[in-house]
Amino acid sequence: MRDGILRKVIILSVFLSSVAVIGYEVLAGSVLSNLLGSSIYYFSLIIGFFLASLGIGGWLSAKIKTDVYNFLVLIESLLALIGGSLSLVLFSIYAYFFYSFGTFKFSDIIFFLGGIEIAQFVFVVASLFFISCIGILAGFELPLYIRILSEKEILKDAIGKAFFWDYIGALVISVSLPIFFFTTFGLIKTSFLIGITNLIAAILIFICSGIKNKRVVFFIFFAVILAINSAGFIFSDKMEIFLEEKQFGNREIIYHNTSPYQTLNFVKSKDKKISFYINGQRQFESGEWDRVYHEAFVHPAMSIAKRRSNVLVLGGGDGLALREILKYPDVKKVTLVDIDPSIIKAASDLDFMKALNNNAFFDPRVTVVIDDAFKFVEGQRGKQSYDLIFVDFPDPTDDSLSRLYSREFYASLRSVFNRDTIATIQSESYFGPIQKNILTTLSSVGLDGAAYHPPKFNLFDQNFGFTIICPERCSADTFKNVSVSVPNVTFQKNKLSDIFSLVPIVENYSAGSEINSIFHPTIFKLMDNAFMEHYIESRPIEDILNQIKTSPEETQKQFIKEFLVFPAASV
């Protein structure tokens, strides 16, 4: 092969190798962020370990004295094999550890730490080890490519060309992954596609090398790697469903979709209840969860509002809050804003969702806007105001969600209030770390929020928390002699004034929280541990403590951990 053509083929290999390396790095960060939230934290962790591993690989490449072509072909092939399975391996590790640790009965000492916390720690360590192995292998590539190119031209030209095409490859893949590959193929299929890219680079270097001995061995090696990556690509949908069923406790996944923004799963349990998960974080469960959550979220504000004609819903793309709002005949217009059209499509197309939300999206009073809620609210300044606003976002477990709980967002939200506007914010758990942060942040922009909860829950039932903003501070007195005028279950036998605690929360647990800002974001860890869902009911604190004393020893320990000394989970 002539030197000119040879150089071009090697440059193409450099480009393809760079595409693969950066692809693996972005994939790893995306997988960990999707599974654990806190995207800035985990992307930073991945970048740090990956770059350090590249440095180790680059240093080790100096140990290669001969057979540079053979070694580079081997490196590219191994990366195609190991890197191609990156997403599948990470998801498998996650499913195994969280399924095993989450159901295992630990000794008292380990139980105190919590199975979920241990599973998360082990998963992160195992993931970083696997990613570091890929990084070390990838670190060999560029130094060896430069050495091969320097045999064909002057060293300074070889270095310049190698770095130029390496960075071009990085640009191409970093832009195309979120825009095209993740949305079209998902994380697991994309991983296998990148593995095939690495294999093509290996084959090109093999052709350039002119290797004559062991050609059959290399051909077999290439064929095996191609078969593995191709099979992985073809069967990745079934793999995803299998792994997610493990993640969700072997429950049936009745709908799965990956959008540009998140992974959506609807899961059916043995008792026929349907749960909706966004990036592994449960948003609702049909039955009592749905009824109690959405009735408590919507009806207090609707019941005390002076006007209900123009309502704004931010988030809530499942249509369940919308279902409750539309029960009021004097509601003339509801604008629902959600960034992800996939949620709206699922909620308005799937039969079981249409049954749950009572065909809410087909009501003529409803207008759906596909937009970022922050941008939408900013665009309404001076143009529109609303009588009622319901903010129903997922918990702030990463930077993109945290901004929707920031002082800047609440300042924009205040600009679309009229003098009688009432707003309700989903706040994860009653007086939990997230709600404390919301209350502190609201106060920083002059909004006086009050924490409340569903009216009838025992200590160990699901813990819901909401924050309501009134023209004048809401409290139990605000809801005296007020009843819900539309059909509901939650408030039939309960007074609206019962949604506020009449006793103070334990002092250590209700300590202050920092203001959440775009410039200083507060990001919370996923709170999937069942023990984070405990609830302090509106009863004298002595009754609560007496109930704790009669509970099993393990439960007492967990209560002490979560409610008496557990710090805010911000990172």
The set of catalytic residues is 392
Distance of CA 292 to the CA centre of its chain: 24
Q: Is 304 exposed, middle or buried (0-12, 13-18, 19+ CB in 10 A)?
A: middle
Please report which helix (H) or strand (E) contains residue 165, including its range: helix 155-176
Cβ pair 202, 246 in contact under 8 A: no
Residue type, 155: L
* Residue 145 amino acid letter: Y
Would you call 504 exposed, middle or buried from its count of C-beta atoms within 10 A (0-12, 13-18, 19+)?
exposed
Residue labelled with tokens 């609303």: 386
Burial of residue 6 (CB within 10 Å: 0-12, 13-18, 19+) is middle
DSSP state string for 192-238: HHHHHHHHHHHHHHHHHHT--TTHHHHHHHHHHHHHHHHHHHHTHHH
Residue among 325, 336, 300 nearest 478 (CA): 300
CA dist., res. 300 & res. 490, Å (int): 11
**Three-state SS sequence of 14-49:** HHHHHHHHHHHHHHHHHHHHHHHCCHHHHHHHHHHH
Taking the C-alpha atoms of residue 261 and residue 340, their distance in angstroms, rounded to an integer, is: 7
Q: Is the dihedral of CA 360, 366, 370, 373 positive or negative?
A: negative
Helix axes 68-84, 141-150, angle to 10 degrees: 150
Does residue 28 contact residue 48 with C-beta atoms inside 8 Å? Answer: no
CA 383 to chain centre: 33
Question: 454, 296 in Cβ contact below 8 A?
Answer: yes
202 with 82: CB under 8 angstroms? no
Report the distance separating Cα 91 and Cα 99, nearest Å. 12
Q: Across the strands, what pairs with 389?
A: 312, 423
Cβ–Cβ < 8 Å for 456, 494: yes
Spatial contact of 46 and 238, defined as CB atoms under 8 Å apart: no
Instruction: Quote the CA–CA distance of 382 and 568 in Å, as a whole number.
Output: 36
Task: Identify which of 134, 156, 158, 154 has the alpha carbon closest to the alpha carbon of residue 145.
Answer: 158
Strand ranges for 456-523 from DSSP E: 466-469
Strands of 386-392's sheet, edge to edge?
Answer: 366-370, 333-338, 310-315, 386-392, 417-426, 466-469, 449-452
Nearest CA-CA partner of 210 in 398, 9, 24: 9
